[in-house]
Homo-oligomer: A and B are copies of this chain.
Amino acid sequence: MPAHFADRLMAAIKEKDSRVCVGIDPVPERMPDVLLPPDGKWTEHAISEAFNEFCSRIIRAVADHAAVVKFNSAFFEALSPLGVGLLDSLVSTADKLGIVTILDAKRSDIGSTAAAYARAVFGHYPADQGAVPDAVTVNPYLGSDGVMPFLAEADELGAGIFVLVKTSNPSSSEMQDLDAGGWPVYRHVAELVRQWGEQRVGESGWSSVGAVAGATWPRQLTELRQAMPHTPLLVPGYGAQGGGAKDVMAAFDEEGLGAIVNSSRGIIYASARDPYADRFGPDQWDRAAAAAAEDMRKSLNAAIKGR
């Protein structure tokens, strides 16, 4: 595996011909019936066991269809401390299958605290033997002081970061779109991201400093792709949040590289919705997820070829 995060990411995209990132967002309420505890009681252990079975099977099933799996830290922290151990184990599972992993934790702090977060993300005390995520998402509100400690740790491990630039939610405009000297705030953040990434470009031509830009803002995706030509984009908001394949085309370069598109609920809970509910039983959630990921892969690839 290449030692540089972006090189690993682009190699995975090319090898699988897939720009799909599957978001792992488990909640007890949506576990398939077969995983419900026999006595109906959602104890911490019951949830942990259900999450483990649910997520492990999905990760194995989507391994051929998705370049990346993104773990949403919140859903594991809600089950902490058991959830935190489970997250470690699922990262290892994905890693062994050759899937690039992102921990979506959106961390933000400064100095020694940010360094402690980076340590929490990229291997706990004292020295973890297990796999660590290939990248982590970071919030830019605190400026460089909040980003550099993550980069210091990431650089050492050949890992990456994705900085929130323009998020997919409606109220992202409240702050991110404020006009500051002719540029919206997110454009200023993009310029910082470009600078932080400049010295971190791998052999693939892409930087280990990525950016998050929502599928729900196609015009801004175009602007951000141009503003940060070497920055891999993580594009959330596809599917359940309303973005479609055409909306995200601007995220890709001329070769169809440089971005991954995330879908979480649309894939992992595919067995509960049409057309997958027709084809798969509720206990075949993993096969339904694989089919949904494969459909998304093809749909993105077709849109790229059709440009």
Contacts and interface: CB of A to CB of B under 8 A. Distances in A.
Given A47-B126, A120-B78, A141 B144 contact: no
A254 to B, nearest CB: 31
A225 to B, nearest CB: 21
A124 B44 contact: yes
Contacts of A180: 178-180, 185
Contacts of A192: 174-175
Contacts of A253: none
Interface stretch (A107-115, A154-162, A283-291): A107-115
A185 B178 CA distance: 8
A167 B110 contact: yes
Contact of A72 (B80, B88, B113): B113
A170 B145 contact: yes
Contacts of A167: 110, 141-142
Contact of A125 (B72, B78, B125, B141): B78
B27 A126 contact: no
Given A78-B125, A116-B75, A143 B178 contact: no
A140 interface: yes
Contacts of A47: 125-126
B25 A113 contact: yes
A188 interface: yes
Nearest to A184: B180
B143 A141 contact: no
Contacts of A111: 169
B126 A174 contact: no
A199 interface: no
B74 A85 contact: no
Interface in A22-44: 25, 27-28, 41-44
A80 B120 contact: yes
A299 interface: no
Interface of A: 25, 27-28, 41-44, 47, 72, 74-75, 77-85, 88, 106-114, 116-117, 119-120, 124-126, 139-146, 164, 167-176, 178-181, 185, 188-189, 192
Given A42-B125, A142-B175, 5 more contacts: A27-B112, A75-B113, A141-B164, A145-B171, A175-B192
